[in-house]
Structure 1
Amino acid sequence: MKIKLLLALGLAALTTSLVQAQNIPLDAAVRTGKLPNGFTYYIRHNVEPKNRVVFYLANKVGSVLEADDQRGLAHFMEHMSFNGTAHFPKNELVNYLQKAGVRFGADINAYTGFDETVYQLPLPSDPEIVKNGLEIMHDWAHGATLETAEIDKERGVVLEEKRLGKGAADRMRTKYFPLILNNSRYASRVPIGTEEVLKNFKPEVIRRFYGDWYRPNLQALIVVGDVDVDQMEKTIKAKFADLKNPANARPRTKYTVPLTGKNQFIAVTDPEMTSTSAQVMIKQPELPLHTDAEYRTSIVRALYNDMLGGRYAELARQADPPYLNGGASIGGFLGGLDAYTISVTAKPGELEKGFKAAWRENDRAKRFGFTATELARAKAGYQNQLESALREKSKTPSSSYVSEYLQYFLHGTAAPGIDYEYKLVSSQLPGITLEELNTLAKTATKTTDRDILLLAPEKDKASLPAEAVFNKWIKEVEAENITAFKDEVSNESLLKKEPVAGTIISQSKDEKLGVTTLMLSNGIKVLLKPTDFKNDEVSFTAFAPGGTSLYSDAEYQSASAANIIPSYGAGNYNTTALSKYLSGKQMSVQLSIGERTQNINGGAVNKDLEGALQLMYAYVTEPRKDSVLFRGMITRSKAGLANRQNDPNSVFQDTISATLGNHSVRRTGPSVAKLDQVNLDRAYAIFKERFANLSGFTFVFVGSIDTVAIKPLLAKYIASLPVNGKTEPAKDLNINIPAGKIEKMVYKGTEQKATVNLVFSGPFDYNFENKLKMDALKETLQIRMLERLREDEGGVYSPGVRMATAKLPQGRFSTTITFGCSPQNVDKLIASALDEVEKIKTTGPSQLNVDKFKAETQRSIELALKTNGFWAGYLGGQLLNNENLHQIDDYIKQVNAITPADIKDAADKYLTGKNFIKLVLLPEAGK
């Protein structure tokens, strides 16, 4: 007996050993451990960004664990973690973090899903702040006070968050979720919960949920940043050891969506739905990502999705595209399942045509498979993405590591680190065969566990097919004589004509900014700012005055449509050929025409920088015109507008744009009549006019620039660009937010929800100092709106304040206060918002809120200054506005000099109420 038992144990150990040998190891650079109480931790030192640390508290606790009387309380509990904990009573947690420069919502945040609740906290790595950060994490783990008064205050906020989600999508989801989730527990446990529970639950019900599930054996702390790993581990062990599991802990059931083997069908309509769509979801067991073999399978899936996506993109580029959107892919679903989904958004009245086209493309791949050239492109793209990540290994942001370890803890998803992944992909990718992809294409569309979901406007209900009819469409396509896909690849060079290189005629250096300015032989100016923020990233932007302002209102639609010209390809490559040429390359280029400028934006890794500049040169000098694609675009655009008026938000946004734009044709919403005004020949001519002469253009390059290697490229591709010495300044169209007091009420939609926009506007004395004061006004006003409308009155979920200031064509400003709420609370909340505006005008903001603005601004700029995106935007913006490039030098000094009196004066000067527009969206029943 004893021998048999030992033998059995030995075999079990051997089996376990073999399984573990196949498992992908966790990244060795992360320190991980588990305390005796089951609390797990992951710690990694990382200095991107420097002097920062990111804390995440992950809980394997979500809405799926709620009892019937707790529906919505997993999410409600997330809210309560910010409303009173052991060391931060009431709202003191948010208050403390704001003083430390952490913004509520933008930085400090949390989310609740079906299976997890996750809290995030990025902090400066100052020792005292880190110490308090760990205190916050400990409180979040099991230190919420859950005071009855605070619970009751938060009900309104959560109900308003639920109200924001109401509408056609929510109403339709309620109908089809039980079917596609096979009547599993997930179908009745949407995280936002039910109104009945949220309004009426007793405090002891949420305390019961908290006591049952917020426990150390379901929790993990993830810490990545500029910290001492050894010291952090000691602190975590000491601090979190006191967390206790309940004496009789409830088992954490792992819920799933069962596979039934059945096929299902449902058609759902709604009056506010704007389009008709069809989805065929074929469910299957989830692909875990634990072993090398599973990782290899995930690569095969990614290649499959990439190749099939390319085919659907080609299908959309027809003169008469068969649908608005279509595609197919395999990916994650829910409850332990993945799904292969074929979807289509149909043109009005053309569901059969659109769906058959989508299914036909899927069936084509199933019958004939893919081509060798398609697979080669997909492999190259996959490999290049990974090589790029490997090059950026030392610049990987802490947030990326946190995301990996979060998925590792919650789902066991492998997180081996980029070195391991690169070796694995390099060894596996070459051996992936066309036969494997073709086998997947054949097996993906299995005939069981297939759900068909139709969503449509209510008015189209009678025309929707029954299940038998829809299945007949599938059979008809599968009986067709379909031909194999032909992958047409161009062997021509991109450019029809090579550029004749110019020269660099002068060079100067601003040592303080680290910016080198080059003057080229054709008069174009180039600024270079080498940085070490990324190991292999170069971004560039270019601009010149002009834009659509130079064209009359009668030509505006064509001038605006000129932005589509680059989508037709360039040089020798049409759109399809160019798409295949770019596949696998790490580069992008966009040319655009704005209202006051024409612009070039792009970026690349260093090895593809010449390719990006060559493509830019092709767009400028050899643009293409494609009447087939143009007709297809117009057809799709018109079809997309057919039911636009069904959507309350679209109607409201069109009203806002028209009102604030003083009803200029350049500001009113889209329409079929406007599309009819677009002339392809004129659009093409306008594009060429704006880019045929690059006199007055300035280029800014930022990133990992090799200043020696880049100069020949600048001479060849930028100094050769066409110029004639003439520049055209942009025209002042005088389209300003109208003066005076205006009120617009829009009645649209059936849900009891309202949206409010309050707009102050007028002339603005633009300078650097005044702009900063307006930024301070915006932020202090935002803080008060959050405190008053959300925390004090519980009437809104997420109030917002936007501030826009402009120097050109006129010094102007606009301040917009926005929020969603119950229709019956509109007048009350508007009064409260305007009361806060009056308070800031008469007494100014509190010193505390000014200090919060300064702390947030300082922390934000510290991070921004270490990004290529910031410098490209800053340098370009300063040059465009003819402002001093050195304004940034005194930015923090100027911010710190701002006083409550400065903000009061700005509010008093600009928020007078003389130019005030009130726009409100209300349900139709409110008329």
Structure 2
Amino acid sequence: MPLIRKLLLAALLSSGLVCLAHADTGFPQDKSDLKADPAVTWGTLDNGVRYAIMPNAEPKGRASLRLLVKAGSLNETDDQQGLAHFLEHMAFKGSTHYKPGTLVNYFQRLGMGMGSDANANTGMDRTVYQLELPDTKPHTLQEGLQVFADFSGGLLLQPDQIDSERGVILSEKRARDSVAFRSYKAEVGFLLPGSLPAARMPIGLDDVIQQSRRDRFVDLYNTWYQPDRITVVAVGDLNVKQTVALIQKEFGELAPRAPARPYPDLKIPTAIPGTEFGYHYEADAPNTSISIQTLQPFPGQDSSGIRLSDQTLQLALDMLSRRLDILAHKENSPLNGSYAGVYDMFQQVRIGTIGASAKPEQWQAALALVDQQLRSALDHGFTAQELQVAVANLRTDLDQSVSSAATRRSDRLAGAITDALNDGNVYTSPAQDKALLGPLLDKVTPEDCVAALRKAWTGGRRVFVSGNAKLADPQAEIKAAWTQSQSVATTSGANDNNLKFPYTDFGPAGKVVSQKRLADLDVTQVTFANGVRLNLKQTPFQANTINVTMRVGAGRLTEPAATKPGLAWLTLLTFKAGGLDKLSIDDLDAALAGKQVGMDFRVSNDAFTFGGSTNRDNLLLQMQLLTAYLTHAGYRPEALTMARKAIVETQAELTHTPEGLLQTRIDSELANHDPRFGIPDEKVLMSRTLDEVKNWLQPQLDKGPLEVSIVGDIDIDKTIAAVAQTLGTLPDRETKPDYANQRIVNFPDKGLSQRFTVPTEINRGLVYIVWPATDGRDIHLARRFNLLAEVFKNRLWDTIRTQMGSSYSPEAFAQLSETFTGYGMVGVLITVEPEQADKVTAAVKKIAADMQAHGVTDDELERARAPILTGIRDSERTNGYWLGTVLNGSQEIPARLEWARSRASDYQSITKADLDSLARHYLVKDRNFSFTVVPDHKITSK
């Protein structure tokens, strides 16, 4: 796998910070010594359209299609900024075979959900359309490819449809506006001044979006949606020969519709002299970020030599990142978080980057620490023990990828092939990757790694500070902090810990007192003498992959929220980070290097939940790790330090966003100010202690009811034995009380309408309206609420998005608690322009009133139900469904097993009358809770 260490923001913003080549009818492997994955059939039509087809069995009976168009925002002229992305929207607004307003409904009737099964995204260098077909019948596959052919050359681009979509685009632009985006844009402008990428964010400019006439769209579309810029990717349960014939049929006649245009000069620098300093202030930012970057020439086209050198560099980056992580966990560290990486941009430049986040008053210390750690690695290199940890982890990743390759899912494979083609990389199989990189791991040395790091960090530096640190004289202050840090001599930053995992013997194995197999579900249920309950299901869905979840105690049902508000939040933030009594969280990473194990922890409403993912070889170790956290939790002070840093950042973000107010105040309002709901303020959270966490949590870990579920590529007998040697050795577990009083949560007595403001510079508002419903214990009723919410969502899209153009993605939901008696809701959540909040609120209430008075239509029912049925069929071939929905807690709540038996047939049986009855009884005009949140600088009159 080639080295592409992208920054998270770059990926989130779909900016396409990867390679960009001129149109080429060949494939990357045509110019490389690397061989492409032989499981993929590669081909090119006479007109230049390329295709890549890969048969794949998971999910059974489905196919994933991708249409890659090598054109994005970099291909726009100055007066087209934003139209590449706008074109992506217009593809769904009318084409040769699909009249305006029909495509989305057609997809839904076919069993596809908008967003989940039909979607698209636009970056700087490409546009990608994706379809997840509900089946692979010849007609369905032909229809999917016909849709893509229409996107490639048959868009109608009708003026009225363009006009109706302008508001949607502006709403999406508003929804994506954030502190992170603004800071990212400023940093790109600083790093690459005068370049085209710095001036071509895919979302575009307001004036262009609002005013562009049809001719500008047609010019961009005809110029760049050319056959030799188009690739069709098809992965799934399909026949290659038939698929090739269908691609030839649908795309064979596609021809250029306009002369080719010279490719724009990106004006990207490939080196930087000296050191320069940049700054960007965001009052709403939750922290201050610092970064140090350098530029190098692009190393060349994908090849075995490039991959080997890149992997050596990646090992160095892994070791450097681990050093930074360890420092961030120390008491009084200025680092909140850190990263180190390298990424390639548009096949023109390689960018090395290292950075961190910190409190605003500690940005100088954070800059100094990151700078000195980078120089320490460059000056003194790494140790053999550090490299041993990095190599072990990479070797495990390679081995696991090979062992699980046969059961990879089609959507991920289609995405990976598309990314490789867009990036100019050869798509290779896990076996090919291991064959190439495995020998390197046997002989790579610390000296090799530091040499690779030094090569990546020759040249000048760009130092950038952004966020909530307000500097009076940024250039002078940043330069002074940098100069001071540079004057400090470096020492070795090595962290040598030759540690072993010591928690392997918990006493005599527990005895099984009952074991039964549920034949129809192929589920095995076991009870041990100490009361530990075990649920097992062997599945073929992910080869050599085993997923574990464990429920202990009663979670937030027992939280003393009235006297110790925020305790659950501090527990969530500190428990895993506290490590074990003999090993810190960093020591654990070293002791478990090269092992396929993990540990997640959450405070759920009715249990403390643990989770992990492992394989056959490491299943016993996985169970030992979970048992060690139950019996030898560390509650280390550094966990509290890290938690308090996170609290400060999170509270700052919550304070400055409409979504934050939803979590901190509105959730509490809806629960009639029950102290278990909502997130307490910073002062309250900071008052909680580790002793309080331990006193609340540990008794439940010691004796609370415990149920573990394990799903995947397991041997039933060996798995029972592994649990017997670990959880089966624990003291007897207590029986879980019913907690009847703790399960009581009430809505306020009367509906209400409230308006809130938040201090923010981001011009984005929120409309949140809910109608009280009931809890989710009656699954028959809950499924009907789910379907009603889907109909509600489709009406929101038809009205709020399509007709009004007031929101990019209006959402409706049914949220029915399985823990709290009678507590549930049907609601909507819509991001809006603040000035349109009242208009959108009125429209939502009008939709609800119409549904209450007149019910739903048969067509609405079917368009909502068909994608759900597709999802049901798909989910039944996933470990996640069996683990999280069926087995998790199934001995405590046996009804879960019956829910699985009836799911598909129950959804099939839902009638229009069922939904009409729910709408009539629950979408009551005077029984809703309506909240509007707008920026305080954009307050509008009601």
**TM-score normalised over the length of structure 2:** 0.92
**Alpha-carbon deviations, 1:359-390, whole Å to 9, x = none?**
12222212211110111111111111111111
Q: Report if aligned partners of 1:546, 1:729 keep a CA contact under 8 Å in 2.
A: no
Letter in 1 for 2:92: F
After superposition, what is the alpha-carbon deviation per residue over 1:122-142, rounded to whole angstroms, capped at 9, x for unaligned? 102122211211111110111
CA contact (8 A) 1:761 1:916 kept: yes
User: Compared with structure 1, are the counterparts of its residues 638 and 356 closer, same or farther at alpha carbon in structure 2 (3 Å cutoff)?
Assistant: same
Shift of 1:163: 1.8
Residue 21 of structure 1, CA deviation: 8.4
Task: Work out the CA distance in 2 between the residues paired with 1:475 and 1:442.
Answer: 21
Judge conservation of contact 1:538–1:701 (CA < 8 Å) in 2.
yes
Distance in 2, matches of 1:408 and 1:565, equals: 39
Give the corresponding residue for 2:827: 816
SS of structure 1 residue aligned to 2:925:
coil
> Which residue is equivalent to 2:44?
34
- Cα distance in 2 for partners of 1:854, 1:447 equals 59
Q: Deviations over 1:171-203 (max 9, x none)?
A: 455555433222111222111111111111111
For residue 756 of structure 2, give the secondary structure of its aligned residue in structure 1: strand
Distance, in Å, in 2 between the alignment partners of 1:640 and 1:753 is 19
Q: What residue is the counterpart of 1:382 in the other structure? A: 394
| Residue equivalent to 2:426 | 414
| Separation (CA, whole Å) in 1 of partners of 2:756 and 2:505 | 55
Shift, 1:656, TM fit: 2.2
Cα pair distance change 1:160/1:846, threshold 3 Å = same
1:900-919 counterparts in 2 under 5 A?
A: 900-919=912-931
Give 1:301's aligned residue: 313
Q: Residues 479-522 of structure 1, C-alpha deviation per residue, up to 9 Å, x if partnerless? A: 32433234242545422853221211222111101011112121
Secondary structure in structure 2 of the residue aligned to 1:719 = helix
Q: Distance in 1 between matches of 2:122 and 2:710?
A: 41
- Residue 776, structure 1, aligned to residue 787, structure 2: yes
Amino acid at match of 1:145: L
Cross-structure match for 2:452: 440
Give the % identical residues: 24
Q: Confirm or deny that 1:548 pairs with 2:574.
A: no
Determine if contact 1:513/1:886 at 8 Å carries over to the other structure.
no
Q: Deviations over 1:826-858 (max 9, x none)?
A: 222212111111222122111112112221111
Corresponding position of 1:530:
538
Q: Which has the larger radius of gyration?
A: 1
Deviates more, 1:193-202 or 1:491-500: 491-500
Per mean C-alpha deviation after superposition, the further-off stretch among 908-917 and 140-149 is 908-917
Tell me: CA distance 1:100–1:593, structure 2 relative to 1, closer, same or farther (3 Å).
same
* TM superposition shift of 1:543: 1.8
Q: Structure 1 pair 482/744, CA: closer, same or farther in 2 (3 Å)?
A: same
Report the CA distance shift for 1:643/1:146 in structure 2 as closer, same or farther (over 3 A): closer
RMSD over aligned CA atoms reads 2.4
Cα distance in 1 between the residues matched to 2:646 and 2:776: 44
Going from structure 1 to structure 2, the CA distance change for 1:408 and 1:551 (only over 3 Å counts) comes to closer
Mapped partners of 1:226, 1:438: distance in 2:
45
State the match for 1:281 in structure 2. Answer: 293
Could you say which residue in structure 2 is the equivalent of 1:164?
175
Whether the 8 Å contact between 2:376 and 2:490 is mirrored in structure 1 is yes
- Equivalent of residue 515 in structure 2, options 507, 511, 525: 507
| 1:44 matched residue in structure 2 | 54
**SS of residue matched to 1:603:** strand
Structure 1 Cα separation of the partners of residues 809 and 495 of structure 2: 49
Match of 1:603 in 2: 613
Which SS does the other structure have where 1:866 is aligned?
coil
**1:738-767 deviations in Å (ceiling 9; x for gaps):** 232222212233444321111111445841
Alignment-derived partner of residue 908 in structure 2: 896
Aligned positions of 1:300-319 closer than 5 A: 300-319=312-331
Show CA shifts across 1:230-260 (max 9, x none): 1211222233121112463223447352235
The 8 Å contact of residues 568 and 575 in structure 1, kept in 2 or not, is answered as yes
Conserved in 1, the CA contact under 8 Å of 2:535 and 2:708?
Answer: yes
SS at match of 2:340: strand
- Asked if 1:100 corresponds to 2:100, the answer is no
Query: Is the 8 Å Cα contact of residues 289 and 414 (structure 1) preserved in structure 2?
Result: no
- Which residue number in structure 2 is paired with residue 61 of structure 1? 71
Note if 1:739 corresponds to 2:745: no
Instruction: Give the letter aligned to residue 273 of structure 1.
Output: A
Query: How far does the alpha carbon of each residue in 1:892-925 deviate from its partner, in whole angstroms, 9 at most, with x for none?
Result: 2211111111101011112213432111122323
Aligned-partner Cα distance in 2 for 1:218–1:635: 47
2:9 is matched with none
Alignment of 1:366-765 (within 5 A): 366-448=378-460, 450-457=461-468, 460-462=470-472, 465-467=474-476, 469-495=477-503, 498-552=506-560, 553-558=562-567, 560-563=569-572, 564-634=574-644, 637-638=647-648, 641=651, 645-647=655-657, 649-694=659-704, 696-723=705-732, 725-730=734-739, 732=742, 734-748=744-758, 749-764=760-775
Equivalent position amino acid for 1:523 in 2: G
CA distance in 1, matches of 2:733, 2:92: 61
Deviates more, 1:808-817 or 1:558-567: 558-567
Deviation at 1:882, TM superposition (A): 4.4
More divergent stretch after superposition (45-54 vs 880-889)? 880-889
Letter in 1 for 2:718: A
Q: Which moved more, 1:675-684 or 1:380-389?
A: 675-684
Give, as a single letter, the amino acid of the residue that structure 1 aligns with 2:122: T
Question: Retained in 2: the 8 A contact 1:571–1:619?
Answer: no
**Are the counterparts in 1 of residues 565 and 676 from structure 2 also a CA contact under 8 Å?**
yes
SS in 1 for 2:837: helix
Aligned partner of 2:348 in structure 1 is 336
User: 2:895 is paired with a residue of what secondary structure?
Assistant: coil
Structure 1 unaligned spans of 5+: 1-15
| CA offsets 1:574-629 (integer angstroms, 9 cap, x no match) | 22211111222111123444332122322211111111111111111122232344
Shift in CA distance, 180/724, structure 1 to aligned 2, threshold 3 Å: closer
CA–CA distance in structure 2, aligned partners of residues 384 and 530 of structure 1: 23
Which residue of the partner structure matches residue 809 of structure 2? Answer: 798
Q: Are the equivalent residues in 1 in contact too, given 2:772–2:826 (CA < 8 A)?
A: yes
Secondary structure of the equivalent of 1:921?
Answer: strand
Deviations 1:60-98 (A, max 9, x none): 111111112211111111111000010001021111111
Alpha-carbon offset, residue 885 of structure 1: 1.0
For residues 642 and 908 of structure 2, the distance between their equivalents in structure 1, rounded to whole angstroms, comes to 55
Shift of the alpha carbon at 1:313? 1.0
Instruction: Assess if the C-alpha contact under 8 Å between 1:320 and 1:635 holds in 2.
Output: no
Q: What pairs up with 1:102-117 in 2 under 5 angstroms?
A: 102-117=112-127
Deviations 1:343-372 (A, max 9, x none): 122223121112111212222212211110
Amino acid at match of 1:129: T
In 1: Cα distance, 2:685 partner to 2:350 partner = 40
Q: Is contact 2:499–2:591 with CA below 8 Å preserved after alignment?
A: no
Partners in 2 of 1:832 and 1:146 — Cα distance? 28
SS of the equivalent of 1:109 reads strand
Moved more, 60-69 or 287-296: 287-296
- Would you say the 8 A contact 2:325–2:337 is kept in 1? no
Determine whether 1:153 maps to 2:164.
Answer: yes
Tell me, yes or no, if the aligned pair for 2:63 and 2:410 is still in contact at 8 Å.
yes
Are 1:885 and 2:897 matched, yes or no?
Answer: yes
When normalised by structure 1's length, the TM-score is 0.93
Task: State whether structure 2 residue 146 is matched by structure 1 residue 138.
Answer: no
Q: Give the deviation of 1:40 after TM superposition.
A: 0.7
C-alpha distance in structure 2 between counterparts of 1:750 and 1:27, whole Å: 49
